[in-house]
Amino acid sequence: MTTPTPTPRTRTRLQPRDLRSWKWFGPDDLRSFGHRSRIKQMGFGSEDYEGKPVIAILNTWSDLNTCHTHFRQRAEQVKRGVWQAGGFPVELPVLSLSESYMKPTSMFYRNLTAMEVEETLRCHPIDGAVLMGGCDKTVPALLMGATSANLPCVFLPAGPMLKGNFAGKTLGSGTDAWKYWAERSAGNLCDDDWAAIEEGIARSPGTCMTMGTASTLAAITETLGMTLSGASTIPAVHSAHERLATNCGRKAVELVWSDLRPSDILTKAAFENAITIDMALSGSTNAIIHLIAMAGRAGIKLDLDLFDAISRRTPVLANLRPAGKYLMEDFHDAGGLPAVLWRIRDLLKLDCLTVNGGTLGDDIKDAPVYNEEVILTREKPLSTSGGTYVLRGNLAPNGAVIKPTAAEPRLHKHTGKAVVFNSYPHMKKRLADDNLDVTADSVLVLLNAGPVGAPGMPEWGMLPIPTKLLKQGVRDMVRITDARMSGTSYGSCVLHVSPESAKGGPLALVQDGDLIELDVEARKLHLHVSDAELAKRRAAWVAPKPHYPRGYGKLLEEQITQADEGCDFRFLHHHDQPIPDPEIH
């Protein structure tokens, strides 16, 4: 990479009257009298808040976010740290994005939470923040909003849940649900065993404990420099996680006084480091979309070709499901993220600033590996190149992605006949039909599942193997769609095809029986249909109608960008003229 490291902004240590919150509480006027009297209404005296940084604890707790059930307790522990360091803590709830329950998909609401985070920080008397997130989209949403607000902040990851267990076997979130569901569909798993898996797969608070989207984004956030060192792998129920919460509270106060802001930390080099760790972990394909969106908020453009270039030079060193064998608890005990980062330090820009007060190089220096089965050596990686490849071709002019480490190698180079589904319900109906004309060599194609088409780009990308093929022992097939897939999923799934079919991308023109060629090493995705025939089909193509006549859904359909652009809303992109603080009247 040739991006020069920019010169860091000159920062001076703030004084109490420099605090943003002083504008609300400091002046001797009627408005500030009102603000102060209302603090007293809550039972606080001037010694509690006067001249102290106000630290917002943005809490994505909810009774329906199963991964954040420990966040009420953690918020209290953050407050303890803020008090210890001489700050004034205020807990503010923001929309929680529950991966398990939100429909049509939590991704639909990522930008809504990001907007709420930005405006919550901007409109209140806040000097700095602790961002509490973990369940998939909460992480980019918090970081996108906080980056746009650009107040000093530190991220507190929820931490992974305990390993699952069934009949003495370890279960991984998502990954093993898909695996055993396939066995059940094939008639190889009884009802009692299936019920026991339901009991044992999610055994504690915390995020999915495979290297799914939550674990990937936590690692990315730490690599970007937005968490305390080593924070991203600490299990949610570990006592170290409680201490981490308190340390985050203390850190937020220090960040305010030292005026270290996201714009100082989130540089192009920091994002290149984040892409590198994503590849070394064989992280979730979703990370690509979120990284592009997060960087966009910092005014940095990340091109898909940059991801592929970094992927080509980065070995996969984390032996974690779904690509490998182990789970997050094992990863933490093996040394955690700093140990992997130290192993690939020659591929990183070590002089990037972090919230820890120094550089990434300072944070990871000499981090030891305790288990080389889990954190592999450079000599024996899981794969010599990174976890996600970027494909291009006449079917995806603006790119598509695949995770080869989670796919059967025999399918890395494959040509097969398309079996096309126009929508998710259409797919479910056709796949249940035992007369469906499909073989193990077919290529399953799902249309209208992208940012606008679905809408919200759900995780439908690991299309189910047709039941009749499951019964024949087939467990992987080439699948192509403009949807995403869960970071815990696996298989030969080509995802994020851009432009999406609902916007007239070439994917919309595929028909049953067309030959499609996938060549992972050559990064190629090609539809073997003549240009003349494609032109004829395009002339007959009719764009699907919008889903929403009003409301947030309408805003999303009008404003969301494509997968290769990060799926942020156009009007939320970085602007050279930052939004000024509100006038205090």
Which parts of this chain interact with ligand FES (CB under 6 A)? 67, 99-100, 135-136, 173, 207-208, 212, 214
SS3 of 362, please?
helix
CB 88 within 8 A of CB 52: yes
Bond preceding residue 8 cis, omega within 30 of 0: no
State the nearest-atom distance from the C-beta of 98 to ligand FES, in Å.
7
State the nearest-atom distance from the C-beta of 322 to ligand FES, in Å.
13
Rank residues 98 and 273 by Cβ distance to ligand FES and give the closer one.
98
Rank residues 328 and 376 by Cβ distance to ligand FES and give the closer one.
328
Separation between Cα atoms, residue 348 and residue 364, nearest integer Å: 11
* Cα atoms found within 13 Å of the Cα of residue 416, Cβ hemisphere only: 22
Longest dimension (CA), the chain: 80
State the nearest-atom distance from the C-beta of 382 to ligand FES, in Å.
22
**Helices of type H across 371-505:** 424-431, 467-471
Q: Which residue has the tokens 């024996």?
A: 380
State the nearest-atom distance from the C-beta of 68 to ligand FES, in Å.
8
CB 58 within 8 A of CB 129: yes
Rank residues 159 and 499 by Cβ distance to ligand FES and give the closer one.
159
State the nearest-atom distance from the C-beta of 214 to ligand FES, in Å.
4
**One-letter amino acid of 11:** R
Rank residues 135 and 510 by Cβ distance to ligand FES and give the closer one.
135
Element of type H or E holding 72: helix 71-84
Separation between Cα atoms, residue 501 and residue 451, nearest integer Å: 10
State the nearest-atom distance from the C-beta of 161 to ligand FES, in Å.
8
* Strand ranges for 226-291 from DSSP E: none
CB 151 within 8 A of CB 127: yes
State the nearest-atom distance from the C-beta of 71 to ligand FES, in Å.
12
Rank residues 157 and 393 by Cβ distance to ligand FES and give the closer one.
157
Write out the two tokens for 225. 């420099």
Rank residues 23 and 238 by Cβ distance to ligand FES and give the closer one.
238
User: What are the distances in angstroms from CA 337 to CA 349, 413, 536?
Assistant: 16, 33, 52
Question: In this structure, how many other beta carbons lie within 10 angstroms of the beta carbon of residue 63?
Answer: 9
Rank residues 138 and 354 by Cβ distance to ligand FES and give the closer one.
138
Among 483, 485, 484, 474, smallest CA distance to 182 is for: 474
State the nearest-atom distance from the C-beta of 547 to ligand FES, in Å.
25
Write out the two tokens for 566. 């990060």
Rank residues 448 and 488 by Cβ distance to ligand FES and give the closer one.
488
Rank residues 91 and 136 by Cβ distance to ligand FES and give the closer one.
136
State the nearest-atom distance from the C-beta of 228 to ligand FES, in Å.
20
Separation between Cα atoms, residue 254 and residue 121, nearest integer Å: 18
Rank residues 59 and 150 by Cβ distance to ligand FES and give the closer one.
59
Quote the Cα angle for 493-562-407, to 5°: 10
CB 193 within 8 A of CB 201: no
Rank residues 208 and 469 by Cβ distance to ligand FES and give the closer one.
208
State the nearest-atom distance from the C-beta of 212 to ligand FES, in Å.
6
Write the secondary structure of 304-335 as one string of H (helix), E (strand) and C (coil).
Answer: HHHHHHHHHHCCECECECCCCCECHHHHHHCC
| C-alpha dihedral sign at 215, 218, 222, 227 | negative
How does strand 515-519 pair with strand 524-527?
Answer: antiparallel
State the nearest-atom distance from the C-beta of 135 to ligand FES, in Å.
3
Write out the two tokens for 21. 């919150």
Write out the two tokens for 459. 């995780």
State the nearest-atom distance from the C-beta of 162 to ligand FES, in Å.
13
**Residue 91 phi, psi (nearest 5):** -95, 130
Rank residues 87 and 164 by Cβ distance to ligand FES and give the closer one.
164
